[in-house]
Structure 1
Amino acid sequence: MTQSAALPGNLDLYLHVRVLIALILGLSVTRLVSGIAALVQHPGRYAIWPVHLGWVAWALLNVVAFWWWEFRLSHIQHWTYGLYFFVCVYASMYYFLSVLLFPQDLDEYKGYEDYFLSRRRWFFGFAALTEALDVVDTWIKGEAHLRSLGLEYLVATSAFILLSVVAARTRNPKFHMLFALSAVAYQISFSIRHFGTLD
């Protein structure tokens, strides 16, 4: 996709689109942070599960990373409705993940472990789709940007999607713990190595 430094008019279009993206991501962060706060306020209300907390951390890290990189959309010269729709759908994936991690109530479940495992197909389905959309979003920001992330990015994304398929099918607690810890550790490592400055 052809890119150049954003002209004033293009920047105005980006700012117009950014408002809706900010609202969606704001709802996502609010859901995650308020969910964490509720766990602190009422630790005995529902049984806490470390794996669930791991995916909460992963989701929060990804929302922050998403918003960091979206500035590069300001370099897009020609906005279309299709591109606008895609970015909105992609941002909405994080809200879906946030709601799945912190539902309105858990009255029909024994705790977060019971809830998470019962809804694992939905969560990992959305997680895998989100990672796939991230590849498209990265390409939209420019082929140079995609190349700058190296082959590692595509390999890691493919591995995450495959592991999500496995996670959606198994209830094995050891697998889920290792997957959650690995996902969080890799996201932190990736952020440290690639999130320097916006240019």
Structure 2
Amino acid sequence: METLVSNPGAFVHVRVFIGIITGLCVARLLNGLANMVQHPRREHLYSVHIGWALFLLLAVMHFWWFEIGLARIERWTFGLYFLVVAYASCFFFTCAILFPDKVGENSSYRDYFHTRQKWFYGLLATLFCLDMLDTAMKGAEHFRSFGTFYPLRQTGLAALAVAAMWIRAPRFHIAFLVLALAAEVFWILDQFAVLD
């Protein structure tokens, strides 16, 4: 039987704040993608960059979708609140690294992406790890309900992100992107297709 929050006001308070951060993420991604459509020649498009933007858009939407699970938390502490806000903020930082205010001294998004790949993939690895902490704080039973695939998936994606910080081979980045997108789509369809 699911345990609902004893103080629904606390749940709403937390959801509103992370909703603001999530909204900033979506706005950053959509503005960046729209700018690419508006100025395709000026922006020198890069498929890996666009792919990660689409991955993040899906991941941010998924994050907001599954955070309904915060209703399982009976008692909110500042530590739990801090973790959820840090998780949402990490999404924003990752989106901001992907779409800066200006590409700057780099001649293309490809150049920009690879000059910032350590930051991007480091933040991505952090997101995969924060997801496990977020899931664990919703209770051991909730964490176990995802089976052994979940921690293996998250750990594997985090390890690939750490490796991607130093690998420049385009094929690796494309393969990792395709794997991450497939894993995210599978995970959503398998575990989160219906909001409970």
Name the TM-score class by shorter chain. over 0.9
CA RMSD, aligned part only?
1.1
- How many aligned positions are there? 195
CA distance in 1, matches of 2:179, 2:93: 22
For the pair 1:117 / 2:114, whether they are aligned, the reply is: yes
Check the 8 A contact 2:125/2:158 in 1, yes or no: yes
Look up the equivalent residue of 2:32 and give its one-letter code.
G
CA distance in 1, matches of 2:73, 2:9: 11
Is the 8 Å Cα contact of residues 121 and 164 (structure 2) preserved in structure 1? yes
Match of 1:147 in 2: 144
Deviations 1:60-104, CA, capped at 9 Å, x for gaps: 111111111111112211111111111101110000011011001
1:14 matched to 2:8? The reply is no
Unaligned runs of 5+ in 1: none
State the AA in 2 paired with 1:129: T
Alignment-mate amino acid for residue 119 of structure 2: W
User: Which residue in 2 is equivalent to 1:183?
Assistant: 180
User: Given that residues 122 and 161 in structure 2 are in contact (C-alpha distance below 8 angstroms), is that contact kept between their aligned partners in structure 1?
Assistant: yes
Structure 2 residue corresponding to 1:104, chosen from 83, 91, 101: 101
CA distance in 2, matches of 1:83, 1:147: 19
Look up the match of 1:83.
80
Question: Residue 169 of structure 2 corresponds to which residue in structure 1?
Answer: 172
**Alpha-carbon offset, residue 144 of structure 1:** 2.0
Higher RCO (C-alpha 8 Å, min separation 6): 1
2:3 corresponds in structure 1 to: 4
Moved over 4 A (4+): none
The amino acid of 2:81's aligned partner reads: Y
Instruction: Output the amino acid matched with 2:48.
Output: V
Q: Calculate percent identity across the aligned residue pairs.
A: 41
Query: What residue is the counterpart of 2:56 in the other structure?
Result: 59
For 1:83 and 1:191, the matched residues in 2 are separated by 24
**Conserved in 1, the CA contact under 8 Å of 2:87 and 2:127?**
yes
Query: What TM-score do the two structures reach when normalised by structure 2?
Result: 0.96
1:140-169 Cα offsets, whole Å, 9 max, x none, are: 112222112111111111111111111001
**Alpha-carbon shift at residue 5 of structure 1 (Å):** 2.0
TM-score (norm 1): 0.94
Corresponding position: 1:137 with 2:134: yes
TM-superposed CA distance for 1:198, in Å, is 2.7
The code of the aligned residue for 1:97 comes to T
Measure the CA separation in 2 of the matches of 1:134 and 1:175: 24
Tell me which moved more, 28-37 or 146-155.
Answer: 146-155
Give the conservation status (yes or no) of the 8 Å contact 2:5–2:75.
no
| Cα separation, partners in 2 of 1:46 and 1:196, compared to 1, 3 Å | closer
Q: Find the counterpart in structure 1 of residue 71 from structure 2.
A: 74
